[in-house]
Amino acid sequence: MVPRVPLNDLVRQNLTIRDDLVASASRVIDRGWFVLGSEGSQFETAFAGYCGAAHAIGLANGTDAIEIALRAVGVKAGDAVVTVANAGFYSSTAIHAIGALPVYVDVDATTHLMEVEALRRALATQSISAVVVTHLYGRLADVEAIVALCDPKGIAVIEDCAQAHGAQRNGRRAGSFAKAGCFSFYPTKNLGALGDGGAITTNDAAIAADLRELRQYGWDRKYRVNRAGGRNSRLDEIQAALLLTKLPRLDAWNEERRSIARRYASGITHPAIQCPRDFGLDDVVHLFVVRCKDRDRFRQHLDVNGIASDIHYPIPDHRQPAYAERTNGVSEMLTETERLAGEIVTIPCFNGMDEREIERVIAVANSW
């Protein structure tokens, strides 16, 4: 029986560096300091340097990172924050946690990323405090244009970089373009911990100082709460040590993902399956997402032929039932967001895929 091709396999990547990971964890265990110690400081310095940012602040997870970043730039309850509705509700979770109100704008049909003109229209018709721009599926959004549009208006831009570790354009990496860049190190990410983790990058020293207070209860010194809205959200030492071990390998891992994506883009020729086509340095291919109007039948075909698939993401944020009455609304009809939700399919693309698996995915897709 031919083995099933999984959507992802975290064992393969970690096995290639298992001894180094064990040594890193052992170093922390032997030291006996597990939160806000030297491993975290070293990782923050290394990650800030990698991203081209002046500061990096380790946190417990990526969703906390977005919430804390929004608080640090002054967003408060009742404020309106622009974001997109096709990115899994993570930014929306953070916005709602503050008591702010999400304002959703549509995305580009080709890139699936925030459409700049849709943002322009939203800014012209509403009072907006901040914008969260998501680099979805590993692909950099048009963040330079978004920052250029928002900066003159005094509107803070926050990058959601959870799926875009290492993506770069014109010599700048994700997390270095806006007021702050928010990262998740969930195990499936391109730079993944062996548990939860997150970070915020920034070039603003004042924001960095606020972030460090906000991640630990709002303290400016032990037991003295200087800022409201603080959280208990810290990257622990073992995860920092593991990430520090993985970070030097990230660029090579990203290029491996691009290589698989290019094989798919040239090899999948079925006319009913639309593949993304361009994979430069601004796309680290966190997920390989195709479009198919008869999605359910295509996924069934993949499944019976031993190929895993998923949908990232099936329910747009403005359609989530728990928050239907708390959404500030949409700036206009989210035509493309709605269309994508019914057509997108994620197929396997991960570090450690072998040649036979890649060829099987191509062959099965084309045989549909």
Residue 123 has pLDDT above 80, yes or no: yes
pLDDT per position as a tens digit, 147-162: 999 999 999 999 999 9
> Domain 10-248 classified CATH 3.40.640.10?
yes
For residue 240, what are its two tokens? Answer: 């920092």
Q: What is the pTM of this model?
A: 0.96
Mean pLDDT of 355-366: 98
Q: Could you give the CA distance from residue 135 to residue 178 in angstroms, rounded to a whole number?
A: 12
Domain with CATH 3.90.1150.10 in the chain: 249-366
Residue 332 has pLDDT above 70, yes or no: no
pLDDT per position as a tens digit, 256-308: 999 999 999 999 999 999 999 989 999 999 999 999 999 999 999 999 999 99
Residue 33 has pLDDT above 70, yes or no: yes
pLDDT given for residue 92 in this prediction: 98
Q: What's at 277, amino acid-wise?
A: R
Residue 362 has pLDDT above 60, yes or no: yes
CATH tag, 249-366:
3.90.1150.10
Residue 177 has pLDDT above 90, yes or no: yes
Least confident of 36-45, 164-173, 330-339, 351-360: 330-339
Asked if residues 62 and 93 have their Cβ atoms less than 8 Å apart, the reply is no
pLDDT given for residue 139 in this prediction: 98
pLDDT per position as a tens digit, 62-116: 999 999 999 999 999 999 999 999 999 999 999 999 999 999 999 999 999 999 9
Residue 226 has pLDDT above 90, yes or no: yes
User: Using 50, 70 and 90 to split pLDDT, how confident is the model at 224?
Assistant: very high
Mean pLDDT of 231-248: 98
pLDDT per position as a tens digit, 335-345: 999 999 999 99
pLDDT per position as a tens digit, 298-331: 999 999 999 999 999 999 999 999 987 655 555 4
**Whose CA is closest to 103, among 89, 85, 115, 117?**
85
User: Using 50, 70 and 90 to split pLDDT, how confident is the model at 1?
Assistant: confident
Mean pLDDT of 182-194: 98
pLDDT given for residue 327 in this prediction: 52
